[in-house]
């Protein structure tokens, strides 16, 4: 099955990114630290061409710190400046500002050599929906400018935001690509809450999460849900988790949809611990 859609506002946003790219010195791409590769938009990579880019791994507080370090190393090998961020930590925000100033330095030096009065560095901030773009912008600007929400697609237009005297940001709506050729990409993004829950069934997302946790974080399954490695039948797993968490219908029958919702909420909220759903290849 190929998961696909292409809402009209996302097609419009892509065109606007192409048009406004010439106005900026570099791009700040936000990815989810729990799924850094899956949350990079390949369609935008085609649009960006050779424009300098830095990558910010958002929600590092929810991601596996060992794998986050591996991802940072992987970007370094590709000569892509990157850092991991928890937007609640002031030092993380300062690191973003420092790296952005460094990214814009070369362009400003060229302007000065040409006798042009220096201006703040200009960056376009891009990312898929619900990656935390609006929250980061508000922290960078130190005031509420961008709308925030826990659902994908809150930002619907572009706007310029000043970050002190250091640099200017061009905000853009979150853009998804038309279809996921790799179904695993769709499941990873659904598991961390980047795409709307209506696109994939909760049961399927929960099964994906359970299988991944059993393979890569068996202690989490054991400690949180009392599921040992010997329990492999998915129905049995749902039954056990559903009963333990009180996801029951009248007559004592386990409600699988409620059970799936519990598993997904536990994963997204960090109640299962710091989980990353993919490793650098």
Question: What is the fold of 3-179?
Answer: Rossmann fold (3.40.50)
Does residue 237 sit in helix, strand or coil? helix
Query: What's the whole-model pTM score?
Result: 0.86
Backbone angle region of 175, left / alpha / beta, with phi > 0 → left and psi within -120 to 50 → alpha: beta
- d(Cα 190, Cα 183) in Å, to the nearest integer? 11
For residue 25, the surrounding DSSP H or E stretch is none
Q: Enumerate the domain spans of the chain.
A: 3-179, 201-269
Q: Are 162 and 141 in contact (CB under 8 A)?
A: yes
Phi, psi of 213 (to 5 degrees): -65, -40
Q: Are 155 and 174 in contact (CB under 8 A)?
A: yes
* pLDDT tens digits for range 82-100: 999 999 999 999 999 999 9
Q: Which residue, chain included where needed, has tokens 């424009």?
A: 51
* pLDDT tens digits for range 121-170: 889 888 888 898 889 988 998 866 654 444 444 444 456 788 877 788 88
Q: Does domain 201-269 have CATH number 1.10.630.10?
A: no
Residue 4 pairs in a beta bridge with 179
| Residue 200 pLDDT level (bands cut at 50, 70, 90) | confident
Phi, psi of 217 (to 5 degrees): -135, 60
């Amino acid at each position: 099955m190929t998961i696909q859609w292409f809402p009209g506002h996302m097609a419009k946003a892509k065109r606007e990114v192409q048009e406004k790219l010439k106005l900026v010195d570099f791009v700040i791409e936000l990815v989810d630290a729990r799924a850094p590769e899956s949350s990079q938009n390949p369609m935008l990579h085609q649009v960006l061409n050779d424009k300098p880019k830095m990558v910010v791994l958002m929600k590092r507080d929810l991601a596996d710190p060992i794998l986050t370090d591996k991802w940072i190393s992987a970007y370094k090998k590709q000569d892509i400046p990157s850092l991991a961020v928890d937007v609640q930590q002031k030092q993380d925000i300062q690191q973003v500002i420092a790296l952005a100033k460094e990214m814009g330095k070369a362009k400003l030096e060229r302007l000065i050599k040409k006798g042009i009065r220096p201006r703040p560095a200009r960056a376009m901030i891009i990312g898929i929906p619900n990656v935390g773009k609006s929250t980061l912008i508000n922290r960078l600007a130190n005031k509420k400018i961008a709308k925030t929400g826990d659902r994908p697609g809150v930002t619907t237009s572009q706007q310029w935001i000043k970050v002190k005297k250091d640099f200017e940001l061009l905000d853009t709506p979150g853009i998804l690509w038309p279809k996921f050729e790799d179904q695993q990409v769709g499941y990873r993004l659904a598991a961390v809450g980047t795409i709307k829950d209506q696109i994939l069934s909760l049961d399927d997302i929960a099964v994906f999460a359970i299988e991944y946790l059993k393979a890569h974080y068996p202690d989490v399954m054991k400690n949180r849900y009392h599921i040992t490695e010997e329990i492999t039948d998915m129905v049995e797993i749902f039954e056990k988790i559903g009963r333990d968490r009180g996801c029951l219908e009248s007559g004592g029958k386990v409600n699988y949809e409620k059970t799936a919702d519990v598993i997904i909420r536990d994963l997204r909220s960090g109640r299962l611990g710091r989980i990353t759903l993919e490793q650098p290849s």
